[in-house]
Structures are given as C-alpha cells and as structure tokens.
Amino acid sequence: MNWIYFFDLCGTAVFALSGALAAGKHRMDPFGVIVLAAVTAVGGGTIRDAIIGATPVFWITDPNYIAVILATVVACLIFIRKPYKLSNKSLPIADAFGLALFTVIGAEKALSLELSGMAAVVVGLITGVGGGIIRDVLCRQVPMVLRTEVYATASIVGGISYTISLQAGMGSMTALSLAMLSTLIIRLSAIHWHLSLPAFDLKTKK
C-alpha cells in the first residue's frame, strides 16, 4: 500500500495547489488560501467518509494530509510567480493525475467495506470530483466538473474499469493501473484536443 499512500499525498498536494490558485484569483488572505486549498484537497474524501460512515474522516486520524496541504500553500505563497502559465499548462495535467488516483482510492475504500460495485463507482466519483465542486461553489462558479469538459465522465469510466477488473479476478495493482490509465487517457485527450461530449442544451429547444 506504500505506493498508493504516496500517490494519495501527491494527489492531495495537486488539488491543494488548484485550490490555492483559485484563492489567488479571488484575492483571499493567507488563511483563506489555506481553507480553500484544504477543502479542495480533502473535500471529496471527507464527503466520501461521512457518507460511508468511515468516521472520524481520514485526515483527522492521519495528520500528514494537513501537513501536505500547509506545505503546498506555503510553497505556493512564496514561489509562485507565473500562475497563469502554470494554470494553463501543467495544472490540468497534474489535476488529471489527482482525479485518476482519487477515483481509484475512493472506489477501493468502498469495495474494502464490501459495498456493491455500483456504489464503488459512485463513491469513487465523489472522491475524485467532490473537492473541485466545493472549490468552485465557494468561488461562485458553476462547477467545472458539471460542464462540458469530460471530467465526471473520465472519473466514472475509471471507477467502472477498476471495479470490473477486480471482479474479473485481476490483481489489485493491475486493476489500479488500468483504471488510472483509462481516466488519464480520457481526461488528457479531452484537454489536449478540447474534446467535449454533446451538451444537453434545453435553451436551444423551443
């Protein structure tokens, strides 16, 4: 489990960074930045744990998550000089890794509690996209996740892939790699070629 735990902390740092950057666009004070970074990084997992009854939630019993968030925010406040360049290039890619990993971790946690495969997919989705939704709501935006960006889609496919692979008898590491790969391919393709699924648009229909 060491690799997964290490990746999990990396994912936490990436999502904390995306929260801190969003905070910087709204001129928040340093502790406001910490709060927004934190809800973005652990919001999805917190909702997951509250919903499945895994309380106290994970970051309460393991202080490393908060430590990673604090370190990320401090580094961010000190070093960031060209945020928009970072934001436009590196961040969505790192964010895709976070999404892929958090989806699998959420699904895994659900399955380890012997929940159904369908529940595992939904719990993985909540873990992957929950933090970003809270971040966008606090910044008064219609959540990016819900719009035409193939974001929820990538998480759902990853969760389904992970659950099916396990049920087909694959090893845990193979299933994890396969699931992360499907999420990453979908999401990175969408970013690179600006793909989007056809929107459900009620405005154009009279």
The interface with a second copy within residues 39-98 (CB under 8 A) comprises: 46, 49-53, 55-57, 59-61, 63, 66-67, 77, 80-84
Nearest C-alpha neighbor of 136 from the set 48, 29, 21, 34: 21
Nearer to a second copy, 3 or 79 (CB): 79
Cα–Cα dist 55/58, whole Å: 8
Choose the binding region for a second copy from 2-10, 97-105, 117-125, 158-166 (rule: CB under 8 A): 117-125
Task: Report which DSSP code applies to 108.
Answer: H
Asked if residue 30 binds a second copy (CB under 8 A), the reply is: yes
Half-sphere exposure at residue 66, Cβ-oriented, CA atoms within 13 angstroms: 9
Supply 106's token pair.
Answer: 């959420």
- Within residues 129-168, the interface with a second copy by CB under 8 A covers 129, 133, 137-143, 145-153, 156
Q: How many residues bind to a second copy according to rule CB under 8 A?
A: 76
| 28 CB-near residues (< 8 Å, 6+ apart) | 36
> From the list 123, 175, 176, 180, which residue makes contact with a second copy (rule: CB under 8 A)?
123
